[in-house]
């Protein structure tokens, strides 16, 4: 199953500021030296795909009952960077990010709204795409909806039942027998004895053991007809965990390279995925498990259940989409990320410094990254060490300093090409720096010209008056060898 070529992948659904023109050549890195932190082994491991040259990656996507918040953006951006670096390293990638379009929250929200499940989920999927596109997140190769894979889920449940790992409870639900699967808890580091009885499920649910989890939910009379599928166990719908196992195995094979998601999914969701997938197939499910850290507000995880979340759309009302992406990328994907306007303001100022360097000299077109170049080599070393974006961003700032000193079109071209790998720095620098000024550009240019005339006439007082008047309006003038440019104040 081949992955898309790099240019079509970067540009598919991409925001204008991060589309990569064909003249920018992302030459694959010369050799594979990538190490990834594997949650399963709790260690950094040298990565080698199961199928040479081809990475198969599955990332848990959104449950589409509401708009995406910034925590969702963190996960989407993190794994967008992962797939970008894999492709830039010369690997073919098949990237799957699922959509959960059936669960209790979706049913409840649709009933509250007086609309069908499909109407709600279609609207939320459209909103998800709009938000992801705004942030420059490339569309995955496959974006399966859970409701399209119910037959595959039923087949997997049947195999588990045949292997003695699943049973139908008195109420009709089909459950996974956790204690019958050797090694349960490997991913989370939790042993059966350490798990607190009754912590997650009640004994009265008809389970043989409180730790067992549901594979197939028996239909309830009050639920809408559209969430009831016929099955060997009676009408009902799949449990949450079985969805990802079935979709992952169907689209990527019974064993694949990388499975990702938020840190909150490691247990129980991903733990249960391993148990039911390996219990059904008898094969190792995933080689490398990756988990991104939370976005925190006042040191608490941002989440809808806690009510302390900001939707992507709310944030984009106040900050440019590339600023939000930069805010996420400059922190390591596994680290917690603290949200505040102060941090976003700082990200905006930092991104402007990079664009200011690019505004000084036209970037050389057609730059093929020479990975022996000291800056490129440092960037590669950072990304090869568990996708070390903070160190990679530091390289961009060092390279921007070189552009400031040398006014080198080659250095500017390399800065833009390396930025493209992270989905950054692809806008026209002058347009980016002037964006958000809320002024008439022609009028500002006229003021700049008037100031130049005053300086030519040695009327320094008038030149200073124009500069100060513009600064009071949030316009910063930059004098350079090529003349005066202007930008919006950070």
Give the residue numbers of the binding site for Zn(2+). Answer: 60, 244, 269, 273
Please give the Cα distance from 370 to 368 (Å, whole number): 6
Residue 92 pairs in a beta bridge with 54
Q: How much of the chain is in helix, strand and coil states, percent to nearest 5?
A: 45, 15, 40
Burial readout 129-162 (b: 16 or more C-beta within 10 A, e: otherwise)? eebbbbbbbbbbbbebbbbebbebbbebbbbbbe
Please give the Cα distance from 15 to 80 (Å, whole number): 14
416: tokens are 């833009």
Residues of the binding site = 60, 244, 269, 273, 304
Quick one: three-class SS letters along 306-334? CCCCCEHHHHHCCCCHHHHHHHHHCCCCC
Residues 320, 321, 325: CA angle, nearest 5 degrees? 120
User: Does residue 482 have a cis bond before it (omega within 30 degrees)?
Assistant: no
Contact, 311 vs 68, CB < 8 A? yes
Residues of the binding site for ATP = 304
Please give the Cα distance from 402 to 128 (Å, whole number): 39
Contact, 490 vs 349, CB < 8 A? yes
């Amino acid at each position: 199953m081949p992955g898309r070529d790099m240019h079509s992948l970067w540009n598919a659904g991409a925001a204008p500021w991060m589309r990569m023109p064909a003249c920018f050549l992302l030459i694959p890195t010369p050799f594979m030296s990538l190490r990834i932190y594997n949650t399963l082994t709790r260690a950094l491991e040298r990565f080698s795909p199961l199928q040479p040259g081809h990475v198969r990656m599955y990332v848990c996507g959104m449950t589409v009952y509401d708009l995406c918040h910034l925590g969702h953006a963190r996960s989407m951006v993190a794994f967008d960077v992962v797939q970008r670096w894999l492709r830039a390293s010369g690997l073919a990638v098949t990237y799957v990010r699922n959509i959960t379009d059936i669960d209790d929250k979706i049913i409840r929200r649709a009933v509250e709204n007086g609309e069908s499940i499909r109407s709600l989920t279609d609207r939320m999927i459209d909103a998800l795409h709009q938000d992801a596109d705004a942030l420059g997140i490339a569309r995955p190769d496959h974006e399966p909806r859970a409701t399209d894979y119910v037959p595959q889920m039923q087949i997997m449940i049947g195999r588990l039942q045949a292997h003695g790992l699943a049973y139908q409870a008195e109420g009709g639900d089909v459950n996974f027998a956790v204690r019958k699967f050797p090694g349960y808890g490997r991913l989370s580091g939790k042993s059966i004895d350490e798990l607190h009885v009754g912590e997650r499920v009640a004994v009265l649910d008809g389970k043989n053991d409180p730790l067992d989890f549901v594979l197939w939910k028996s239909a309830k009379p009050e639920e809408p007809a559209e969430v009831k599928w016929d099955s060997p166990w009676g009408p009902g719908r799949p449990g949450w965990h079985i969805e990802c196992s079935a979709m992952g195995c169907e689209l990527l094979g019974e064993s694949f390279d990388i499975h990702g998601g938020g840190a909150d999914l490691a247990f129980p969701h991903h733990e249960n995925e391993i148990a039911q997938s390996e219990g059904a197939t008898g094969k190792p499910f995933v080689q490398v498990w990756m988990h991104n850290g939370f976005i925190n507000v006042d040191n608490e995880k941002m989440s809808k259940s806690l009510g302390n979340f900001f939707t992507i759309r709310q944030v984009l009302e106040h900050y440019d989409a590339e600023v939000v992406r930069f805010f996420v990328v400059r922190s390591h994907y596994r680290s917690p990320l603290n949200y505040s306007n102060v941090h976003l303001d700082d990200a905006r100022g930092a991104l402007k410094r990079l664009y200011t360097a690019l505004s000084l000299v036209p970037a050389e077109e057609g730059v093929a990254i020479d990975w022996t170049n000291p800056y490129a080599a440092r960037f590669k070393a950072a990304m090869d060490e568990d996708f070390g974006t903070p160190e990679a961003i530091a390289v961009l700032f060092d390279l921007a300093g070189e552009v400031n000193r040398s006014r080198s079109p080659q250095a500017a071209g390399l800065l833009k090409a390396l930025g493209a790998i992270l989905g950054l720095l692809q806008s026209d620098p002058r347009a980016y720096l002037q964006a958000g000024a809320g002024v008439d550009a022609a009028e500002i240019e006229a003021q700049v010209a008037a100031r130049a005339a005053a300086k030519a006439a040695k009327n320094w007082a008038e030149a200073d008056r124009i500069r100060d008047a513009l600064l009071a309006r949030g316009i910063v003038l930059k004098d350079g060898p090529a003349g005066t440019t202007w930008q919006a104040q950070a």
